[in-house]
Amino acid sequence: MTAVAHPPRPLRLGCVRYLNTLPLIEGLEKAADLDLVPAAPARLIDLLLARDVDAALVSIIDAQRSPEPLTLIPSGMIGCDGATLTVRLYSAVPLDRIAALAADADSHTAITLCRVLLARRFGVSPRVADFAAPADAVGAASAEWPEAALLIGDKVVTAAPPPARYPHTLDLGEAWKNWTGLPFVYAAWACRAEDAASPRTRLIRDVLDRQRRHNATRLDWIVARRAPQRGWPTGLAAGYVGDLLRYDPGEAGSPFRAAVERFFDEAHALGLTPRRAPVRWLDDPGA
């Protein structure tokens, strides 16, 4: 009996569907033999380790916390070189008096970065608890918001807390830049290290790199089409993805890769990661 040939399994990519990821993923849903698997940023590492996806846009701190080694794929990232806009700390008290932090649990990296900045720049180590903004955040009364809150993503623009509640705010990307002189990386494409040399991973690298470069040529079109769907003013969205954010981690020795190393050092020094594992990139020699 002749064996039946089965088609290859589609490539599966774990991703986030925030406005800030569109320059990386817009158009991928039309690619043949490729499936996008959307999830909250904090869930993507679980999908990757469970082999539910071949690669994922993981929160960068998860490259240190993962119980299995990961390899970062230098085909795209979510980063900044100064203000981020959508990773923001809100406080009703001066930042050096924060005792408890209600943190948006969507991003492991944002929480860790906030803890690093509060410890190193403001001398405080608040208790941290998960936080979900009120269902009707725009109409919520000030009393429904905690004394200090960390929010990330589109909700910073589309469901921001009442300004009167929080006279003290901090853009974490801007604060990191002012302190270290470095840019910052919030998330990057990653695969399991054991799969780094596989043909599937090399194909993923090429597909992602090509799509990021293509999308960079049509950001105005992406913003005009997608920003209103997400409740963003078009002008603000254009400045956000076109001016504030960065999507290319660069080659070995780039400031963005140096920033990843510095962030991991700081997190480990404060006991926020269990170990300081080597950072692996797919284009490293021998990867």
pLDDT at residue number 67: 93
Contact 78, 186 (CB under 8 A): yes
- Looking at the structure, tell me whether residues 175 and 240 fall in a common domain: no
Q: If residue 89 lies in a helix (H) or strand (E), which one and from where to where? A: strand 87-91
β-bridge mates for residue 102, sequence order: 129, 149
Secondary structure class of 224 (helix, strand, coil) = helix
pLDDT at residue number 274: 85
Q: Measured between alpha carbons, how far is 66 from 61 in angstroms, rounded to an integer? A: 9
pLDDT at residue number 2: 44
Handedness of CA 71, 109, 269, 275 (dihedral sign): negative
Residue keyed to tokens 């509060």: 118
- Looking at the structure, tell me whether residues 22 and 53 fall in a common domain: yes
Question: Whole-prediction pTM value?
Answer: 0.93
Q: Which domain holds residue 39?
A: 11-79+183-269
pLDDT at residue number 277: 85
CATH of the domain at 145: 3.40.190.10
- In the listed set 151, 180, 209, which residue is the last one of a domain according to the structure? 180
Cβ burial 84-115 (10 Å sphere, 16+ → b, else e): bbbbbbbbbeebeebeebbbbbbbbbbbbbbb
- Pull the structure tokens for residue 274: 């269990």
For the chain, which residues score pLDDT lower than 70? 1-8, 135-143, 286-287
pLDDT at residue number 6: 42
* 229 in a structural domain: yes
pLDDT at residue number 106: 81
- Percentages of the chain per state (helix, strand, coil), in multiples of 5: 40, 20, 35
pLDDT at residue number 7: 47
Report the number of distinct structural domains present in the chain. 2
- In the listed set 180, 203, 219, which residue is the last one of a domain according to the structure? 180
